Amino acid sequence: MGYDIERFLGQVNEGLLCCICRDVLEDPLQAPCEHAFCSTCIHGWLVHENICPEDRRTLLITQLRPLFRYMKNDLDKLEIKCGNSDNGCSMITTLENIDRHEHECGFGNVSCPSIGCSVVLERRNLNSHLGTCEFRTKVCPRGCGLTLLTKEDEEHNCIGELRTELELLRSEMICKLDDQNKEMQLRLDSQRSHMVQKSSHMQQQIDELRGQISRLQQDVRSLTNAERKRRQEMERMELEKQELIELLKGFQREADANKKGACRNCKRNEKITAI
Ligand SMILES: [Zn+2]
Ligand SMILES: [Zn+2]
Ligand SMILES: [Zn+2]
Ligand SMILES: [Zn+2]
Ligand SMILES: [Zn+2]
């Protein structure tokens, strides 16, 4: 929105009026067609349109440029009354200086800066209000470091206040410690249950291995038994073998002896046949 034309002294050139609000240009921007607008007016317009509102030629936000320098100079030189003239300010200054003046104009309205105070008053009356404002604060003059409302000054008791503050801090600390404790407890619990799971899993594995070992031990035992039986069998067979060998040897000797007898006979018979 532009500046109300009523506030200006003397004639204002038509070219320095906004094509949208028809007031005197504020933060002016210019289209390629040379129509000029307040920055807020044209940005608001281009949200829904893409044409110049004056001649309906295509217009994009990126085509907007600052006002021609000579027009800007004319604009800046216009004389304008302070916006607080209704309150009694008689200041008349150029448009380029009006913002600075209004920012510090004694007839402008300001809110009391004290927290909790809702008084709105003219800037020139602020200091006298602050002298009596019941929400004005100050640091305790007796050195406890607390900020006091001025009206509390009389009944303020440093030691009592500090004690309350201390109690507050202590209970905060206790709460915090409690929270930390709970968190640690939760963490420990979850680790514990994890460990329990792990150990029961390991116990299962141990039990399985035990079962395997005892099965293996049984196998070993039965193998050992079989081996012992086999060895006994072998020994028994060895004995039988020895006995058989002895028997054979006996037969051999007997056979040999019989053969010698027969040969003697043979020789004798041979001689007889030879003769
Ligand atoms: Zn405008
Ligand atoms: Zn235009
Ligand atoms: Zn003023
Ligand atoms: Zn106040
Ligand atoms: Zn104090």
40 Cα to the center of ligand 1, angstroms: 7
128 Cα to the center of ligand 4, angstroms: 10
35 Cα to the center of ligand 1, angstroms: 11
208 Cα to the center of ligand 1, angstroms: 89
What tokens appear for 252 in the block?
């051999």
177 Cα to the center of ligand 5, angstroms: 29
Residue 88 burial (CB < 10 Å; 0-12/13-18/19+)?
A: exposed
Question: Which ligand is closest in space to the CA of residue 55?
Answer: 2
- The pLDDT profile of the chain, 275 residues, written as one tens digit per residue, is 899 999 999 899 999 999 999 999 999 999 999 999 999 999 999 999 999 999 999 999 999 999 999 999 999 999 999 999 999 999 999 999 999 999 999 999 999 999 899 999 999 999 999 988 988 888 888 888 888 887 777 778 888 888 998 999 999 999 999 999 999 999 999 999 999 999 999 999 999 999 999 999 999 999 999 999 999 999 999 999 999 999 999 999 999 998 877 666 565 554 444 44
111 Cα to the center of ligand 4, angstroms: 8
20 Cα to the center of ligand 1, angstroms: 5
Ligand 1 (single-atom ion) residues, CB below 5 Å: 2, 18, 20-21, 38, 41
Question: Which ligand is closest in space to the CA of residue 145?
Answer: 5
- The total number of residues shown for the chain amounts to 275
Q: What is the pLDDT of residue 143?
A: 82
How far CA 64 is from CA of 39, 58, 204, 258, in Å, comes to 9, 12, 80, 148
150 Cα to the center of ligand 5, angstroms: 12
Residue 152 burial (CB < 10 Å; 0-12/13-18/19+)?
A: middle
Question: Which ligand is closest in space to the CA of residue 103?
Answer: 3
| Other CB atoms within 10 Å distance of the CB of residue 101 | 18
13 Cα to the center of ligand 2, angstroms: 17
Question: Which ligand is closest in space to the CA of residue 87?
Answer: 3
86 Cα to the center of ligand 2, angstroms: 36
What tokens appear for 117 in the block?
């105070």
29 Cα to the center of ligand 1, angstroms: 10
Question: Which ligand is closest in space to the CA of residue 142?
Answer: 5
| Other CB atoms within 10 Å distance of the CB of residue 99 | 11
Q: What is the pTM of this model?
A: 0.52
Question: Which ligand is closest in space to the CA of residue 104?
Answer: 3
89 Cα to the center of ligand 3, angstroms: 5
